[in-house]
Structure 1
Amino acid sequence: MIAPHGRRAVPRHPFLDSDGPLAFAHRGGAASGVENSMRAFQQAVDLGYRYLETDVHATADGYLVAFHDSTLDRMTDGHGAVARLPWSAVRRARIGGREPIPLLEEVLDAFPDVRVNIDVKADAAVAPLVAAIQRTGAWERVCVGSFSDARLAAVRAALGPRLATSLAPRAVAGLRLDSWTSPLPLGRALGGEALRSAVCAQVPVRQGVVTVVDAAFVRAAHRRGLQVHVWTIDDPVQMHRLLDLGVDGLMTDRLETLRDVLRQRGQWPS
């Protein structure tokens, strides 16, 4: 597919291998009210989604759970910080009062043909995540990202170039700067190493007062061989606008909305 502002970035990793824009079920479809649950993930897969997005935290005894918040309070009938509770306590909590919190390995095992985007939410989750990827052999079907440059660098160092990763904030800033100027030889301070090793930039449309995703940003990313995935997009007008810019993927809480938009464009996977 040729986008108005240039070709889609050629996939640099099997995780990205798709004929059209990637449709990510954000937390399995957070609008369902049971985000990051096996029920949510199953509903996404049943709708035809082949990319799930989730988050990981580690319990006090080192179990890696697919869960967004650092505490149980917002989404479950439980209370307390995940990192301070043993798995025996976390597993009793119910998302939306009804769905158990899954382990990441349960998600990977349940959906062997689905690709999973993983946001590492805490330092304590790094080592369990590395071990989980090694145990499951999920190298080709996971992509790891983080809002922490150090956290993501630790995952890259442990698992090497075989792992697909997205850009952390420092490298995103470097790419945004690169898009405003001529191509720059970006150094360590602006995430130069990450820009060379990552396969995608996963970003919001705006960060505070700064516009992140525009035509120049997409061109700069594609020039460096990076795909651009944008979160979290629930409005169909905005979905169309971003796809017209040539972004390579969208993350959404509203699964039917994104599916319908991509169907209208002839880009929903068969």
Structure 2
Amino acid sequence: MTLSIALRGDTARFPGNTLPALRSAWRAGADLVKIDVHLTSDGYPVLVDERTVATPGSPPRPVADLTLAELAGARDDVERRIPTLMEVVAEFRDEEGPPLLVDSASPEAALAADALLRDRPCARVLHTGSTETLAALRAQSPEARLMIAWDQPTPPAESALRGLRPAFLGTHHTLITRDSIGEMHRFGYSIAAWTVNDFTEMARLIGMGVDAIATERVDDLVPLTTGRAQGGVQATGQV
């Protein structure tokens, strides 16, 4: 089957990387929810779209330079409040939550997120980020599942990814063909198409056997990946 990835949650209804957006994407049936994780200056992993945040009375500053308390006062609207990763975990204290695709802004953020999520109920996690970030994560967690961004239509050379052992290659959807999917699969990689918001393109990629699709239109994608869309389009990719 083809997996559905909701980018920053259900952003068609709520601001991205907020608890309402995540809840809505999970209710819609997304297989993974992609979140952007930064580390505050006092060591808390938080979910933020941007790398800089303006606090009241101050110009924008990097998230890494701000404390959790400073970030807590950065947004007045409760639906736009910046949540911690621990709050996401707390959503599923007594049940297994849907998997997360954790896009960490730095190696430090990735290591903190991994330490927090490991052995938690919602710890079915796929990590992504820069090569440096993924290398640090692989060194800490040999069993971590990784997705690396890849902007070529052919598989990477072994030397390019030595030691990372990614499970997924995240590729812009315009680079993907049926032949390239087959070649990537022969090399042992699953393919995630990035970022697909057009319904027709979603259906085309599913028909070609892509393994995952990342979108900002989760309500359009989930019926396709589950075979519930009008016309009965079925997902055929392999994970």
Q: Say whether the fold is shared (TM-score over 0.5).
A: yes
How far apart, in 1, do the equivalents of 2:76 and 2:35 lie? 14
1:255 aligns with 2:218: yes
Aligned to 2:135: 153
Out of 167, 172, 177, the residue aligned to residue 199 of structure 1 is 167
CA–CA separation in structure 2 for the residues paired with 1:243 and 1:92 = 42
Task: Report the number of matched residues.
Answer: 225
For 2:110 and 2:211, the matched residues in 1 are separated by: 27
The match for 1:41 among 7, 17, 22 is: 22
Residue 126 of structure 2 corresponds to 143
Distance 1:121 1:100, change over 3 A: same
Distance in 1, Cα, partners of 2:222 & 2:121: 29
The structure richer in helix per residue is 1
Kept in 1, the 8 Å contact 2:3–2:213? The answer is yes
Q: Letter of the 2:179 partner, please give it.
A: A
CA RMSD for the aligned pairs?
2.6
Tell whether the 8 Å contact from 1:94 to 1:100 is kept in structure 2 after alignment. Answer: yes
Paired residues of 2:37 and 2:105 also in contact (CA < 8 A): yes
Of 35-44 and 111-120, the range deviating more from structure 2: 111-120
Q: How does 1:81-120 map to 2 (within 5 A)?
A: 81-94=62-75, 98-111=79-92, 112-120=96-104
1:52-83 CA-to-partner distances (Å, cap 9, x unmatched) read 1111111111110122210125xxxx943211
Distance 1:27 1:124 in 2: 20
What does residue 180 of structure 2 align with?
217
SS at match of 2:34: strand
Deviations 1:154-189 (A, max 9, x none): 1011011x21111244xx65xx4448xxxxxx342x
Within 5 Å, give how 1:11-90 maps onto structure 2. 20-73=1-54, 79-90=60-71
Residues 85-122 of structure 1: CA deviation (Å, up to 9, x unaligned): 10001122338674311112221331432110111122
SS of residue in 2 equivalent to 1:244: helix
The 8 Å contact of residues 35 and 95 in structure 1, kept in 2 or not, is answered as no
Q: CA deviation at 1:266?
A: 5.3
In 2, Cα distance between equivalents of 1:96 and 1:165? 34
Residue identity matched to 2:172? P
Instruction: Note the residue ranges of structure 1 that are not aligned, 5 or more in a row.
Output: 1-19, 180-185, 207-211
Aligned partners of 2:188, 2:70: CA distance in 1, in Å? 44
- Unaligned 5+ segments in structure 2 are none
- Residue of structure 2 equivalent to 1:3: none
Identity of aligned residues (%): 26
Structure-2 change in CA distance of 1:246 and 1:93 (3 Å): same
Q: Secondary structure at the match of 2:73?
A: coil
Per-residue deviation, 1:50: 3.4
Q: CA deviation at 1:23?
A: 1.0
8 Å contact 1:167–1:202 — kept in the other structure? yes
Cα 1:95–1:31 change in 2 (3 A) is: farther
Mapped contact 1:118–1:142 kept (Cα < 8 A): yes
Residue 204 of structure 2 is aligned to residue 241 of structure 1: yes
* Distance in structure 2 (CA, Å) of the matches to 1:133 and 1:69: 22
Give the structure 2 partner of residue 183 of structure 1: none
**213-222 vs 82-91, which deviates more?**
213-222
Query: What is the CA deviation profile of residues 186-245 of structure 1, one whole-angstrom value per residue up to 9, with x for unaligned ones?
Result: 342x22443xx2211122224xxxxx3222321122112221111211100110111122
Contact 1:68 1:121 (C-alpha < 8 Å) held by counterparts: no
CA contact (8 A) 2:138 2:144 kept: yes
Q: Is the 8 A contact 2:98 2:122 kept in 1?
A: no
